[in-house]
């Protein structure tokens, strides 16, 4: 593809990412306002905290599945998916700190595109149940809202886990108490051949999934039924770029 066409594509992608971040931010704001204004404080239950924790855990699992899939299967040569989705994961293993030089839009713009729909749908449901939101419904909305927000911020948490200087103090606190992915925890994944600790949102599920041999069992089953070799292209890519 000529250089001019590449530049046009890059500009178009960046404009689209900016648009997605703006729309996602509006949808996020709407849901927050609707949740705050629809809840009866006197009827608040401590159970809502459990729903929030469950939402964070589900987000960690979803992020882990996506990360595992992109790290383990496919090739950078696949049409569209290869260069757009798989290649950044391959390059990340070679230069883990490259993502720290990306701004928020480049880091999270693609995910914002994916979560905007669910946020708008949640806002629509909250609008139609305004004034009649029961405690169980509120808990459910908190669960899904937490899940969506943590998925949306997964790449940002991942980026912070590779940022060793200049982080805000509150980010250090969140990492210290393992409310987001800590640096020392994620370091385990970056030991070659990058076959464990794929969860990069909070990292809560990494240890139990490793003890259950969850990822290795999935890889064994996929290899048995399809013949695909886990991380085969990752090894080739690392050799090719050395």
**pLDDT tens column, 151-210:** 999 999 999 999 988 899 999 999 999 999 999 999 999 987 788 999 999 999 999 999
Question: In residues, how long is the chain?
Answer: 242
Span of 28-32, 87-91, 95-99, 217-221 with lowest mean pLDDT: 87-91
At a CB cut-off of 8 Å and minimum separation 6, what does 67 contact?
A: 89, 198, 199, 200
The fraction of the chain above a pLDDT of 70, given in percent, is: 86
121-125, 128-132, 228-232, range with the lowest pLDDT: 128-132
* Confidence at residue 168, expressed as pLDDT on a 0 to 100 scale: 94
* Nearest alpha carbon to residue 140 among 154, 130, 150, 126: 126
- pTM, full prediction: 0.88
Where residue 78 falls among pLDDT bands split at 50, 70, 90?
confident
Q: Has residue 14 got a pLDDT over 80? A: no
DSSP letter, residue 43: G
Answer for the pair 35, 142: CB distance below 8 angstroms, yes or no: yes
Which pLDDT score, from 0 to 100, does residue 16 have?
A: 79
What's residue 36's pLDDT? 85
Tell me how far apart the alpha carbons of residues 120 and 113 are, in angstroms, rounded to a whole number. Answer: 12
Burial of 132 (0-12, 13-18, 19+ CB in 10 A): exposed
What's the CA gap between 61 and 67, in Å, rounded? 10
> Could you tell me which residue, 41 or 65, shows the higher pLDDT?
65
Q: Say which residues have a Cβ less than 8 Å from residue 178's Cβ, sequence separation at least 6.
A: 185, 202, 203, 204
What is d(CA 112, CA 18) in angstroms, rounded to the nearest whole number? 10
- What stretch of H or E contains 7? helix 3-38
Q: How far is residue 165 from each of residues 92, 100, 206, measured CA to CA in Å? A: 19, 10, 25
Q: At 131, which helix (H) or strand (E)? A: none
How much is the pLDDT for 103?
Answer: 87
- The whole-number pLDDT of residue 11 equals 44
């Amino acid at each position: 593809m000529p250089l001019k066409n590449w530049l046009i594509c890059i500009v178009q992608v960046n404009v689209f990412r900016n648009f997605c971040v703006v729309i996602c931010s509006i949808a996020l704001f709407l849901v927050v306002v609707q949740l705050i204004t629809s809840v009866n404080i006197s009827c608040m239950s401590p159970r809502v905290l459990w729903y929030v924790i469950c939402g964070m855990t589900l987000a960690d699992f979803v992020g882990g599945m996506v990360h595992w899939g992109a790290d383990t299967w496919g090739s950078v040569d696949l049409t569209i998916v290869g260069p757009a989705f798989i290649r950044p994961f391959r390059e990340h293993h070679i230069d883990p700190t490259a993502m720290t030089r990306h701004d928020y839009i480049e880091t999270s713009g693609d995910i914002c595109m994916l979560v905007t729909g669910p946020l708008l749908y949640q806002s629509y449901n909250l609008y139609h149940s305004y004034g009649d939101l029961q405690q169980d419904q509120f808990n459910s909305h908190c669960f899904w809202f937490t899940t969506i927000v943590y998925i949306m911020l997964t790449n940002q948490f991942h980026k912070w886990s590779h940022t060793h200087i200049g982080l805000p103090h509150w980010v250090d606190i969140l990492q210290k108490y393992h409310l987001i992915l800590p640096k020392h925890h994620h370091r385990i994944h970056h030991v070659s051949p990058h076959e464990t600790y794929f969860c990069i949102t909070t990292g809560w599920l990494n240890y139990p999934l490793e003890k259950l041999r969850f990822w290795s069992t999935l890889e064994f089953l996929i290899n048995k039924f399809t013949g695909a070799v886990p991380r085969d292209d990752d090894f080739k890519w690392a050799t090719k770029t050395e």
